[in-house]
Structure 1
Amino acid sequence: MPISLDRTERRILEALQQDGRLSNVELAQAVGLSESPCLRRVRGLESEGVIAGYSARVSQRSLGLQVTAFVQVQLEKHDDQKTKAFLEQVAQEQHIIECHAMSGAYDYLLKVVAQSMDHFSEIAMQGILRFPGVKGIESSFSLLTIKHPSPLPIEN
C-alpha cells in the first residue's frame, strides 16, 4: 500500500533523486526547511523504507561492459526447489543486474551486461542455460539506450 506523502516529503524525494549527495544543509535550503526538521523527515523516510538506499550511477561502458542483453527465460516446470535454486544462481551471477518475474510466454526477464558478445555467449551458454530448471532462453540486445534509469514520479 502506498504511503501518504506531504508536499515537503515529495520535494525531499525529488531533490534526493536528482542528487543523492546533497548535504542536509543543501537539502533543507532546497525544500524550504530548517536543518533539524529536514533531517528528521529524511530519517523518517529512510525508516519507513521510502528511501531504500543511496548509490552512485557508474558508467557501464567505462567498466568495459559494452553489451547489454535482455534474456527471456523459460523454466521447465514450476517446481519450488528448482525455482529457488534458479533464483539463487541468478543472485550469484554479477553480470545479471536485474531479474523480473514475468507474466506471459516466459517466466523471467534478465538484464545482463557483458564485456563483449563472446563474454555474453559464455554467460548464457555456460551459465544461464545450465541454471537449475531452465528449459530455454531467448536473448535480445540493446542497440542504444534511449532513456537511462530516471527518478520515479512522486505523486500523491
Structure 2
Amino acid sequence: MELNDIDRALVDALLEDGRASIEDLAADVGVATETVERRIEGLEDAGVLTGYAATIDDDELGYDVTAVIRVRTGGATQGIREALGEYPWVRSAYEVTGEDDFLLVGRFRDTDDMHQHVAELLTEATVRSVTADVVVDTIRACEPLSPRKPAE
C-alpha cells in the first residue's frame, strides 16, 4: 500500500501515542475527525496497522542493561528459532545473513544477569558461539515513518 502524507502523519502520531483519541489525531494531522476515522479504518483493512500495544519503560522495571547478542549455530536453525521464543529476556530476535545466524536484543537487570542468561544460550545443542555487546546509549528506536524536520 502506498501511503500519502495524511496516512504517514497518522501512523507517526499513533506510533507516538497509540491511545490518542480521534479528535487529538485530527488536530495533530490537521484534518477532520471523519477523515481520520476513514483513514485509520483503511490502514487497518490494508494490514498496515495490525494492532495497538502498550510500550513499557524497561528502566523503570529495573532492566538497566540492553545488549545486542549475536548467535552462531552449527547450521541447523529451526530448533534454536523455537527456543529463542522461550527466553523472556529476548525483546527482539532476527534471523540474519552473514557470519552470524541470529541477532537478538535483550534486556537485563545488570551485567551479571546478562552473563547468566546469555550463557544459557550455550546450552542449546546447535549453538556454537555467542557474542554480546552492551548498548551504551539508544540513538534511535521505533522512529516514525516520516522524515524528521530539522529544528528551527
Pick the TM interval, shorter chain: 0.7 to 0.9
Note if 1:143 corresponds to 2:136: yes
Matched residue, 1:96:
90
Q: Is the contact between residue 13 and residue 154 of structure 1 (CA under 8 Å) also seen in structure 2?
A: no
Q: Does 1:16 align with 2:9?
A: no
Aligned counterpart in structure 2 of residue 154 of structure 1, from 124, 134, 146: 146
Residue 43 (structure 2) pairs with residue 45 (structure 1): yes
Report how far residue 56 of structure 1 moved.
2.9
Q: After TM superposition, what 4+ stretches of structure 1 lie above 6 angstroms from structure 2?
A: none
Amino acid across the alignment from 2:51: G
- C-alpha displacement at 1:148, in angstroms? 4.0
Gaps of 5+ in 2: 148-152
Give the Cα–Cα distance (whole angstroms) in 2 for the partners of residues 88 and 47 of structure 1.
30
Seq. identity, %: 26
Query: What is the aligned length?
Result: 147
Secondary structure of the corresponding residue to residue 122 of structure 2: helix
Q: Which residue of the partner structure matches residue 6 of structure 1? A: 4
- Could you tell which deviates more after superposition, 86-95 or 17-26? 17-26
Change in 2 beyond 3 A, CA 1:62/1:33: same
Gap regions ≥5 residues in structure 1: none
How far off its partner does 1:43 sit? 1.6
Letter in 1 for 2:96: M
1:71 correspondence with 2:63: no
1:95 touches 1:114 (CA, 8 Å); kept in 2? yes
Normalised to the residue count of structure 2, the TM-score between the two structures is: 0.85
Which residue number corresponds to residue 122 of structure 1? 116
Residues 32-77 of structure 1 deviation map (CA, whole Å, 9 limit, x = unaligned): 3332332121021122221232223322111111221111100012
Match for residue 31 of structure 1?
A: 29
Amino acid at match of 1:44: G
Equivalence for 2:150: none
TM-score, length-scaled by structure 1: 0.83
Across the aligned residues of Structure 1 and Structure 2, the Cα RMSD in angstroms comes to 1.9
